[in-house]
Structure 1
Amino acid sequence: MYAIVRTGGKQYQVATGDTLRVEKLKGEVGETVELSDVLLVADGENIRVGVPAVEGAKVVAKIVEQGKAKKVLVFKKKKRKGYRVMRGHRQMFTALSIQEIM
């Protein structure tokens, strides 16, 4: 059984027992989170597709980690002008462990 959920402007295919990193969600480590924006639920031959979301479907996940991803360096330069800018960015994330698909 798997589902496709939307969170943080992105879509993820999840199954029970999976661990995934999503955009930062509110909550502490150990708390449970319900992802109610479920776009598709598939259980063998039985597939339910939502328009845009499946009615009554939800995914229950447990927060495993709150953290920052590795640093991404952004370098800008304009030739012959002496313009050089180096910036870094670390995106906040939440690691989720999928407990149940309903």
Structure 2
Amino acid sequence: SISPMNLRKKGRCPLTPEEAALVLAGLGFKQETYIYLAGSHIYGGNSRMEAFNRLYPNVVTKENLLTTTELAPFRNFSSQVWLLDLVHLWILIHIVKVFTIQSCP
């Protein structure tokens, strides 16, 4: 049988939301940073996100960015919903690049 504890010891499990927040803080991300959360349905529910949201309250998801009507065509197609997250990430990366480039002397 597959043991979650053994997988975790081997580094084969993703970070918990709390661990992810600690990594971001350790990398110097400020509390005011906006975080795009691609997988908005967290295993264990919203209670698992409490520690993350305390440290980084500006969490954004595709559900925050798009209306229900805009999301409707994608609801039954998980690969297309994943693509929405990828497109949003691509846009955000380019926004960061623009701000970085424009702020250079």
Q: Same fold (TM over 0.5)?
A: no
Q: Could you state the TM-score of these two structures normalised by the residue count of structure 2?
A: 0.20
- Structure with bigger gyration radius: 1
Question: Higher relative CO (CA 8 A, sep ≥ 6), structure 1 or 2?
Answer: 1
Of Structure 1 and Structure 2, the greater strand share is in 1
